[in-house]
């Protein structure tokens, strides 16, 4: 078959590629050969999670804050690791996408879990009054630029770290900041002591130069190291490829001057470069990105829409791609490859969608626009894969994906948290106001977020019959809630225990809940569950009491993990939810009284 493949990109341009599916399959190209697909009727896509994924919120927007987190459109994060520190850069607008003014912010972390309050690294930039874009009539008057960038960091040959950003122009309705008619790309050094060097323009768009811009051109600097770093960037095709959307459309330093979006790359052992773009478009270069073997075309078998895809080589010598495997921006998943070309599995990274608290232009639901650490920008000390992304274009997140990527457990669990290493085995979902963390030799689940929850999961060997025993201490019994579920590989729960806000211990029995007793604040509950998925019966014993017989509220063939969650299951949004949310949620700025639950230990076994 030689029928051309066509792709509809964000700006409505349709590309027709000369390669058909059979042609592409014959090429040395990226492809997905697995059989697992996601189901967007579920936020987790019914995908099995990677063992030990840690999802950590680094910044939670709140319009009532007095600092930079009061801006509620936050998106396009980038990540680097330098000086034993994580650096996270993201762009920010007051409320919606492409709505000025824009600025770029920076967070840092020594461990990936505890993040600094964001600071402005590239401030709002005033557009010269009287400026008119080519082909448009809108005239600038007291207007500010917005930011749009696909590359955020560069570690120079001299091992200095630089941040980059781009100032684009939006003057009227349906104007586009990355149309090649913006101001230009800026750069500044991030120093080891946390201070920044001066801002310079790295490259101008055609209407701007040293005379009509507010920052100097890099060549005017007396810092020879900065000049060398800038010229390294400009002479590296694989870096300049990441500037194609914002740069001049005929920029001679950009090798592939076509509107393919959000480029990233990695090297194969033979020196070839794999390129990836939105829609899981891919190609291969044998000369460091100067030329490409074929026009970027859909990687066979990959499912990905107008959201970024990230690929890299991992510390174990394998390769991983992280992306939204659907036509929506959920779930966030990872595929693994032995050779960097053939990807064989699809596993869950983050299957949650936080409530979008603030409406705004083009704010899409879900964990999206994922980026990792490019090859030149460092390797985390723990040897794991770290990625960053925005949630709902509102909050910033990172995920630690354990390397090697592990799909399942083969041994039953017998863990308490006096051993600090145990925490690494658990899957966590940890928002800023719902931290999941080791605390006093226990696993603590905090929750003071009215729109989100803390979640900790532990995967165990898949079983039709299993005994799970654990101890949990709630610090309160008159507010907060904890749900405990046993779920299968697709995330379907068959049973649910609940500690409700009225001090009751409940279990779900079809439409109704069954009361198993009461619990007290600061008193430890020891719970034993004996489950048989074949008969659909399970017993619950509390504090050594008589087992209580119950029927599973949903049938499953087997179970493989236990979930502790400080809130109820979310099903909004779904595939039929209207695209744009133009309203704020009631009480969006509020914080709840903090509920805390401590998990002491977990044991699983065969009965």
Same-domain status, 287 and 420: no
Residue 249 belongs to a domain with what CATH number? 2.120.10.10
18 pLDDT above the threshold of 50: no
Residue 13 has a pLDDT of 35
Residue 382 has a pLDDT of 97
Residue 407 domain flag: no
Question: Residue 85 is encoded by which pair of tokens?
Answer: 């520190």
Same-domain status, 418 and 393: no
How far is residue 457's CA from residue 392's CA, in Å, rounded to a whole number?
23
Residue 176 domain flag: yes
**CA nearest neighbour of 92 among 127, 116, 115, 63:** 63
Residue 135 pLDDT grade (very low, low, confident, very high; cuts 50, 70, 90): confident
Query: Average pLDDT of the chain?
Result: 95
Residue 26 pLDDT grade (very low, low, confident, very high; cuts 50, 70, 90): low
How far is residue 162's CA from residue 189's CA, in Å, rounded to a whole number?
4
How far is residue 596's CA from residue 448's CA, in Å, rounded to a whole number?
9
Cα→Cα distances 245→151, 183, 251, 309, Å:
11, 13, 11, 16
Same-domain status, 255 and 166: yes
How far is residue 603's CA from residue 607's CA, in Å, rounded to a whole number?
12
Question: Looking at residues 378-385, what average pLDDT do you find?
Answer: 98
Residue 521 has a pLDDT of 98
Q: Is the pTM of this model over 0.85?
A: yes
- Identify the DSSP state of 240: H
29 pLDDT above the threshold of 90: yes
How far is residue 195's CA from residue 517's CA, in Å, rounded to a whole number?
57
Same-domain status, 423 and 375: no
Query: Which residues, in sequence order, are CB contacts of 131 under 8 Å at separation 6+?
Result: 139, 140, 169, 171, 207
Examine the fold and report which residue of 401, 428, 462 is the final residue of a domain before the chain moves on.
401
Q: Which residue range forms the structural domain that includes residue 179?
A: 5-401
Residue 209 domain flag: yes
Residue 539 belongs to a domain with what CATH number? 2.60.120.200
The alpha helices in 241-308, defined as continuous H runs, are none
Question: Looking at residues 50-74, what average pLDDT do you find?
Answer: 98
Residue 24 pLDDT grade (very low, low, confident, very high; cuts 50, 70, 90): low
**CA nearest neighbour of 223 among 199, 248, 257:** 199
Instruction: Judge whether 300 and 306 are in contact, CB under 8 Å.
Output: no
Question: Looking at residues 546-550, what average pLDDT do you find?
Answer: 97
Residue 155 has a pLDDT of 98
pLDDT tens digits, one per residue of 64-106? 999 999 999 999 999 999 999 999 999 999 999 999 999 999 9
Question: Looking at residues 570-595, what average pLDDT do you find?
Answer: 96
Same-domain status, 465 and 370: no
Residue 3 pLDDT grade (very low, low, confident, very high; cuts 50, 70, 90): very low
5 pLDDT above the threshold of 70: no
- Identify the DSSP state of 23: H
Same-domain status, 463 and 511: yes
Same-domain status, 397 and 463: no
Residue 408 domain flag: no
Query: Which residues, in sequence order, are CB contacts of 370 under 8 Å at separation 6+?
Result: 307, 308, 309, 310, 322, 323, 324, 332, 387, 388, 389
Residue 23 has a pLDDT of 52
Same-domain status, 298 and 220: yes
Residue 63 domain flag: yes
Same-domain status, 434 and 322: no
Number of domains in the chain: 2
4 pLDDT above the threshold of 90: no
**CA nearest neighbour of 288 among 240, 237, 253, 252:** 237
Residue 263 has a pLDDT of 98
**Exposed/middle/buried for 159, CB within 10 Å: 0-12, 13-18, 19+?**
exposed
16 pLDDT above the threshold of 60: no
Examine the fold and report which residue of 342, 377, 401 is the final residue of a domain before the chain moves on.
401
């Amino acid at each position: 078959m030689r029928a051309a493949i066509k792709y509809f990109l964000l700006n409505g341009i349709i590309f027709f590629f000369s390669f058909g599916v059979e042609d592409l399959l014959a090429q040395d190209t990226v492809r997905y050969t697995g059989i697992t697909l996601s189901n967007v009727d579920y936020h987790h896509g019914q995908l099995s999670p990677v063992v030990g994924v840690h999802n950590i919120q680094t910044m939670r927007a709140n319009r009532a804050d007095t600092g930079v987190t009061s801006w509620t459109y936050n998106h396009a994060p980038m990540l680097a690791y330098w000086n034993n520190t994580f650096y996270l850069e993201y762009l920010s607008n007051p409320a919606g996408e492409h709505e000025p003014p824009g600025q770029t912010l920076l967070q840092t972390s020594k461990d990936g879990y505890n993040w600094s309050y964001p600071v402005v690294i590239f401030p709002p930039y005033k557009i010269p009054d009287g400026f008119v874009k080519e082909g448009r009539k809108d005239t600038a008057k007291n207007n500010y630029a917005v930011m749009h960038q696909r590359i955020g960091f560069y570690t120079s040959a001299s091992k200095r770290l630089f941040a980059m950003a781009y100032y684009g122009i939006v003057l009227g309705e349906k104007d586009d900041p990355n149309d090649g008619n913006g101001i230009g790309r800026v750069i500044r050094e991030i120093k080891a002591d946390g201070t920044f060097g001066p801002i310079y323009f790295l490259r101008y768009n055609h209407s701007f130069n040293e005379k009509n811009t507010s920052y100097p051109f890099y060549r005017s600097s007396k810092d020879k190291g900065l000049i060398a770093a800038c010229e390294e960037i400009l002479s590296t095709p694989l870096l300049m490829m990441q500037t194609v959307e914002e740069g001049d459309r005929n920029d001679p330093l950009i090798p592939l001057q076509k509107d393919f979006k959000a480029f990233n790359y990695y090297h194969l052992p033979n020196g070839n470069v794999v390129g990836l773009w939105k829609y899981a478009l891919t190609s291969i270069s044998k000369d460091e990105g100067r030329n490409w073997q074929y026009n970027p075309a859909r990687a066979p078998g990959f499912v990905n829409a107008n959201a970024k895809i990230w690929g890299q080589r991992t510390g174990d010598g394998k390769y991983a791609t992280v992306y939204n495997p659907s036509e929506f921006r959920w779930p966030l998943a990872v595929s693994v490859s032995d050779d960097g070309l053939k990807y064989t599995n699809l596993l869950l990274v983050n299957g949650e969608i936080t409530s979008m608290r603030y409406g705004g232009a083009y704010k899409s639901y879900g964990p999206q626009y994922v980026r990792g650490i490019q090859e030149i920008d460092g390797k985390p000390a723990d040897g794991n894969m770290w990625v960053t992304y925005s949630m709902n274009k509102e909050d910033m997140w990172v995920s630690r994906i354990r390397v090697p990527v592990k799909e399942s457990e083969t041994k039953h669990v017998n863990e308490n948290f006096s051993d600090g290493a145990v925490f690494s085995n658990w899957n966590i979902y940890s928002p800023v106001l719902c931290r999941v963390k080791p605390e006093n030799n226990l696993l603590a689940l905090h929750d003071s977020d009215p729109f989100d929850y803390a979640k900790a999961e532990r995967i165990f060997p898949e079983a039709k019959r299993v005994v799970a025993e654990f101890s949990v201490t709630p610090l309160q019994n008159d507010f907060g809630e904890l749900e405990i579920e046993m779920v299968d590989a697709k995330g379907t729960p068959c049973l649910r225990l609940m500690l409700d806000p009225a001090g009751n211990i409940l279990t779900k029995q079809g439409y109704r809940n069954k009361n198993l007793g009461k619990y007290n604040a600061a008193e430890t509950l020891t719970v034993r569950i004996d489950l048989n998925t074949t008969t659909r019966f399970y017993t619950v014993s509390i504090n050594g009491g008589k087992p209580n017989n119950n029927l599973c509220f949903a049938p499953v063939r087997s179970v493989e993990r236990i979930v502790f969650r400080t809130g109820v299951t979310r099903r909004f949004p779904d595939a039929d939810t209207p695209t744009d949310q133009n309203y704020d949620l009631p009480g969006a700025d509020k914080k709840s009284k903090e509920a805390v639950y401590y998990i002491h230990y977990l044991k699983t076994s065969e009965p």
